[in-house]
Structure 1
Amino acid sequence: MRLTSQLGDRLARRGFLVGAGAVGTGAALGAGALLVGGGTARAAVPPRPDLMTAALGTPLDRIPGAVADAKARSARSGKRPGPAVTRAVRAAKELKPFRDPLPVPRVLRGRGGALTVSMREARLRLHSQLPPTRLWTYEGTHVGPTIEALRGRRLRIAWENDLKGDFPVPAVRVPFAYDPDLPLMWDRPGREGAPARGDVAALPPWTVVHLHGAVTGGGNDGWAENAILPGAAQLSEYPNKQSAAGLWYHDHAMHITHLNVMTGLGSGAYLIRDEEEKRLRLPSGEREIPLVVFDRNLDLDGDGEFTGDLLYKGIVVADDPYTLVRPFTGPFSMVNGVIWPYLDVAAGWYRFRALNAANNRPYLLKILDEDGKELPPEAFLVIGTDAGLLPKPDPVTGGIPLTPGERADLLVDFSRLRGQRLRLVNALPEPGARADLMQFRVESRADHGDFAPPKRLSPSFTPTSPAAAAAAPERLVIVTPVYPKDPELWEMEEVDAPKGDLPIDGIVQFEEADGTVRTFKRVAATFTDPVRFTVAAGSTERWRFLSLEKSAGAYPHPMHLHSVAFQGISRDVYDVSDFTFFEQDGGYGAGTSKPLKRLKAGELTAAERGRKDVIRLAPAELVTVAVRFEAPSGRFMHHCHIYEHEDMMMMRPFVVQPKAVMDLAPHGRTGQHGGHGAP
């Protein structure tokens, strides 16, 4: 009982910053709650508080009683929002939508197979009601220029760092508090009285460019630690030996990607063209437009007026024993670097290359007419996804889901909506956040173009069959829940079931679709752990991603592999309630107390069955993809594409080597197959 009392006391002292103030959570399971695993008694970690779950992405209406509890706490505290918060709410409402035209990035094409792109400072207006904003940019624009390349023609790019001066985005951390009468804290501009972080202000212009989706060698991929300072250039070679696709480039500097992208180094399109795409005669020129979507926050002065500066506002949802900060979302949606713009369009077909370049926010894109109705499916088609064209068009019937890093190649027919003003919206807004992203203003006169969507798009795409995927070598990657510490990315190897009681730290058991129970152990969990996955060049593997997050409404994890394309094979839904955290050796252990039960098969979209390099992993899901490693050899990374998550080590290296080289590895310790009996 003495052990029980000591552990209960420690838990009871831990506060989480929710509601009107710090709320102790030690009594949630009872101070004496114990788990027994491996013959040792340990204290269980109490459940995550409801409002903390809300702060991490779950809508409040999905958490029974959370709003009522928060209102009661707010009434008991007697605290009301201060004048700074009131001014922030007013300022957000005063910024008007659809006042500024959508910028269309200029196009760059390499001459003689070479191109130079400068990273440099610029001052730009993000909205006509705002003062100019100081940004770090690619070639002077908030969204970088569109780079076009031809399939099979090598392009060498010198990414020159011509940046200077102090870090242009102030950052603050604000304890989470909930007021049912106000927009949520991340959907309000301003610092809420918090001081600017000196550690962020001191950051140098240290950058590295990753061409997301490029099939290239490890030396050209934009390794996170290979960043450069002003006066240097990153020299990268892209073979472009891949199908026509909409790739994109962005900063990937180690530990600070989530901050660097805020400065303006967050996105630029890179389009690969090929003959298969050319034969389709898709809308082009002024009728092929990138739509780069992300959200930002804005700073205010002491009078509640916008300064023009962007603001990185981190919301602290727990502070003991670990500081947990909500990944960034903000109240102001931007398309191509402008807040709530508009685009004049002819009454005909357009091709839009949509990209979610947000840090954290998922989008469900819909186009609504003046009556709030969605476009008919025959007027809104998905023709491609991250890494290339689909076999055939897919009509949009419930919106386009995009997690960070995902792309959609879209065809839209405005001909039946002449003279109307349509809205592109996010159908997943949070309370207080504007759903609008941009407006389309359709001309009144008829368009006499003769384009018709092709019935077949990419005959060269040959999907991997489920049977072939099942026969391929397997990798298992697990994402742990948020709380009591930041989520982690675990690489796993299959082992025999352990003797003794569960849970045991790092041991996860789950049930397959056929009822077979399998046991895996954690072999790596941080970026600095040794490489465990070494892959034979040219091989196909089956990668599986399992989320142990319990909250069904939480934001999904976008899982990304560098330098490859993959195809979704299956999605399964699990009961993950038996994955447990417990106190161990002054920290936390985690594992399953009994095998996780499979509940049902989930669904893959048509896009997820196409060429992908990011796939959505929702809470309690197991997603399986078939990966073809066609890139040159080298060291690459796989990670969650929520920038804050990859920066806090939800990122792991993997290595691709020629098979003949792997066969000569001493003692076979390459982790080639990673399955039962691997080192």
Structure 2
Amino acid sequence: MANFLVFGLVFFSTLFTAAIAGDSEWLSPVYTEFYQNPLPIPQDKPVKYQYTNPITGKVIKYFEIDIKPFQAQVYSKLGPVNLVGYDGMSPGPTIRVEKGEETVVRFVNRASMANSVHLHGSNSRAPFDGWAEDLTQPGQYKDYYYPNGQRGRTLWYHDHAIEHTAENAYFGQAGLYIMHDPDEDRLGFPKGTYDVPMVLSSKQYKSNGDLFSPASETVSLYGDVIHMNGQPWPYLKVEPRKYRLRFLNAAVSRAFQLYFEKDTKTGTKLPFTVVASDSGLLSTSVSASTLEISMAERYEVIFDFAAYANSNVTMRNNRDVQADEDYNSTDKVMKFIVGGNVTDPTNNGAVPSALSTLDTPAPKSTVDRTFKFERSGGEWVINGVTFADVKNRILAKPPRGTTEVWQLENNSGGWSHPVHIHLVDFQIISRTGGKRGVLPYEAAALKDVVLLGVNEKVKVIAKYAPWDGVYMFHCHNLIHEDHDMMAAFNVSALQDFGYPETTKFLDPMEQRWRSKTIDPAMFTEEYITGTLLPMFSGLDAYGSEDKIEKALDDYYKTRTTGPVAAASTVASSTTARTSSSTTLSTFSTITSAAKTSSSSSTKTTSKTTSTTTKKKD
């Protein structure tokens, strides 16, 4: 018995020592410039052209963004890092729009790899949603047409290219897109320089100072260098007053549990107020001392620095977040240097308790669909299906306008999965099986991403509207996504709906909206304001959203039987092999070609387990 006790003590001592060693090691070159560099603020993108429909008065604003390579200096004594970003910066420029003003954003690929762009959080029509196989090759451009008709919110635009999303986003293709709703102004939240974007990421570097590539990674890339707005461990000088901090977790694989502490009183977590999430304002403000934010989630908090004048506040990250790996300094994030004077006292009042009325779906107890997120045979799968399985990847066909409850299950062992459902805002109903329930600020929110933790089951409810068409849902650990933990759902057209829509947008790969070769004639002011924007304005793609929502509500109120899905839906044509775009078969037949053509890089698509994140260069 004594021998067994000795063996047990040695065994657990070894495990403990290994854990400590793992937390203290670096994968990247040792970084020493903590809190020595200022927090960069992404610049706003100016509107290039604007068009007003002479009949409806609707405004469309036009932006133009080049995807191109650039260099940055991360380690002062090593070589530069080679990146590819929107307008040659990372994060990309912030696009700011007013609710109700439509936009056309032209993304021009002047880089060496194919891309696709997803405006995350927008209920865009299917051809403009960033379908993974809707690729823009080098030397091409695509015009993305966005509605901006939802509640005000912090969105973000990022790459969504088949099998290369992790590479493209990790090397720089991510930026904020902030939609302002005038209704928010009544709340008196901090504005201007007191409204600060906070884009989190976590990366790994090679010995020469360049980025380690996720190209051959198949499990996760947690990274050991924490960035905020592209700068490792920065500082921000603030005044002793309230600030609105807009958090986005743009990391490839790392979730965060953020908290604040005063430098002279470490170990005590400071209070703040959560006011918004993925889909805009919470119903009520929520007091918190820790913010859990997984990949692709957004949260907005009001932090009051008034009590910390002439001192420092450090933002930190808990260790042991879900199944993520910790390294030497992954518990540090950034520092706030609090001054002694307030130069502008406006928009600095108390945070209201009641914030907004959420458009939540009618309660429903039955589960309509169950999706299991698993690892099987070296692949990441949903219900045993990968995105490469073209004939079977449409896993749901909710009729347009119906409300469904989806149960998401994590059966993959030691991993967590932030699940993103395109098109819709959903409400989290329950979370069971893991270490936590629905968090208070989740319960007060509408979301488009939910963290499915280790061994958890999560129920979400959403109304599949306003548009019909094919959309994606997937894990937002980008390594998992690239290795096929992605599927599709078809919001099925209603055969007897009867609403007169002038243009349909069912097929995300409809040829009319595909990328085009760069032609200088298509970039002139005359063409864009005289032809392109009037064409989009005339489609009435988004102008009738409220009317369509009401018509859908009326449709279901008057029915005594179930909805009648159209006979020729996208889902029924995914295996068709014709070339006509009207048969909605393009996006199914393009798969193999898209995967081949997207490989402008030398990425390996092996599905075997990788351990590259645990190796030093």
What amino acid maps onto 1:286 in structure 2?
T
C-alpha distance in 1, partners of 2:202/2:221? 9
2:398 pairs, out of 535, 546, 571, with 535
CA pair 343-462 structure 1, distance change in 2 beyond 3 A: same
Residues 639 and 651 in structure 1, CA contact (< 8 A), matched pair in contact too? yes
Q: 1:405 to 1:327 in 2, by over 3 A?
A: same
Residue identity in the other structure for 2:189: L
Look up the match of 1:321.
none
Q: Tell me, yes or no, if the aligned pair for 1:100 and 1:128 is still in contact at 8 Å.
A: no
TM-score by length of 2: 0.71
Aligned mates of 1:669, 1:152 — CA distance in 2: 29
Aligned partners of 1:362 and 1:555 also within 8 Å: no
1:362 aligns with 2:255: yes
The equivalent of 1:196 in structure 2 is none
C-alpha distance in structure 1 between counterparts of 2:490 and 2:225, whole Å:
39
- 1:293 paired with 2:189, answer no
Count residues with an aligned counterpart.
478
Q: Quote the RMSD (CA, aligned, Å).
A: 3.2
Match of 1:560 among 389, 406, 420: 420
Relative distance call for 1:141 and 1:230 in structure 2 (3 A) is same
Q: 1:433 aligns with which of 314, 329, 332?
A: 329
Question: What is the match of residue 308 of structure 2?
Answer: 417
Corresponding residue for 2:291? 400
Give, in whole Å, the separation in 2 of the partners of 1:90 and 1:275.
Answer: 46
**Offset from partner CA, 1:208-234 (integer Å, 9 cap, x none):** 111111111100000001111122112
| Match runs of 1:621-636 below 5 Å | 621-636=456-471
Sort the Cα spacing of 1:206 and 1:456 in 2 relative to 1 into closer, same or farther, 3 A: same
The one of 341, 352, 355 aligned to 1:445: 341
User: Where does 1:226-265 land on structure 2 (aligned, <5 Å)?
Assistant: 226-265=134-173
Q: Distance in 2 between matches of 1:601 and 1:294?
A: 24
Q: Using a 3 Å threshold, how does the CA distance of structure 1 residues 157 and 557 change in structure 2: closer, same or farther?
A: same
Instruction: Choose between structure 1 and 2 for higher RCO, CA contacts under 8 A separated by at least 6 residues.
Output: 2
Preserved CA contact (<8 Å) 1:289 1:353: yes
Match of 1:45 in 2: none
| Counterparts of 2:476 and 2:249, CA distance in 1 | 11
**What's the CA shift for 1:130?**
4.4
Residues 447 and 239 of structure 1, relative CA distance in 2, 3 Å threshold: same
Residue 386 (1) aligns with residue 278 (2): yes
Within 1, Cα distance between the matches of 2:136 and 2:570?
33
The whole-number CA distance in structure 1 between the counterparts of 2:391 and 2:10 is 42
1:102 to 26, 36, 39: 39
> Following TM superposition, by how much is the alpha carbon of 1:487 offset from its aligned partner in structure 2, in angstroms?
3.5
Residue among 177, 183, 200 paired with 1:270: 177
Which residue among 544, 561, 577 is the counterpart of 2:407? Answer: 544
Q: 1:340 aligns with which of 233, 245, 248?
A: 233
Between the aligned partners of 2:270 and 2:198, the Cα distance in structure 1 is 21
Aligned-partner Cα distance in 2 for 1:483–1:374: 43
AA aligned opposite 1:414 = F
Q: Is the 8 A contact 1:381 1:395 kept in 2?
A: yes
- Counterpart secondary structure, 1:255: coil
8 Å Cα contact 1:532-1:670 kept in structure 2:
no
**1:570 aligned to which of 406, 416, 430:** 430
Distance 1:294 1:523 in 2: 29
Tell me how far apart the structure 2 counterparts of residues 109 and 457 of structure 1 sit (CA, whole Å): 34
What's the CA shift for 1:89? 5.1
> What's the offset of the Cα at 1:393?
1.1
**What is the letter of the counterpart of residue 639 of structure 1?**
H
> For 2:168, what is the secondary structure of its paired residue?
helix
Which whole-Å CA distance do the structure 1 matches of 2:385 and 2:341 have between them? 63
* Residue type at the aligned position of 1:459: S
Q: Give structure 1 stretches of 5+ with no counterpart.
A: 1-62, 74-80, 165-204, 301-306, 317-324, 491-521, 575-599, 672-679
User: Partners in 2 of 1:314 and 1:160 — Cα distance?
Assistant: 23
- Contact 1:359/1:644 (CA < 8 Å) preserved in 2? yes
In structure 2, what residue type is equivalent to 1:240?
A: N
Within 2, Cα distance between the matches of 1:435 and 1:601?
21
Name the stretch that deviates more: 426-435 or 535-544. Answer: 426-435
* Alpha-carbon distance in 2 for matches of 1:92, 1:668: 53
Give the 3 Å change call, closer, same or farther, for CA 445–66 of structure 1 in structure 2. farther
Q: 1:639 aligns with which of 474, 486, 495?
A: 474
* Structure ranking higher in strand proportion: 1
Amino acid at match of 1:616: L
TM-score (norm 1): 0.65
Superposition deviation, residue 354 in structure 1: 0.3
SS class of match (2:161): coil
Q: Could you tell me whether the CA contact under 8 Å between 1:276 and 1:458 is conserved in 2?
A: no
What residue identity is the alignment partner of 2:351? P
Moved more, 607-616 or 655-664: 655-664
What SS does the aligned partner of 2:349 have? Answer: coil
8 Å contact 1:537–1:657 — kept in the other structure?
yes
Unaligned runs of 5+ in 2: 1-7, 51-60, 321-325, 497-562, 573-617
**Are 2:99 and 1:151 equivalent residues in the alignment?**
yes
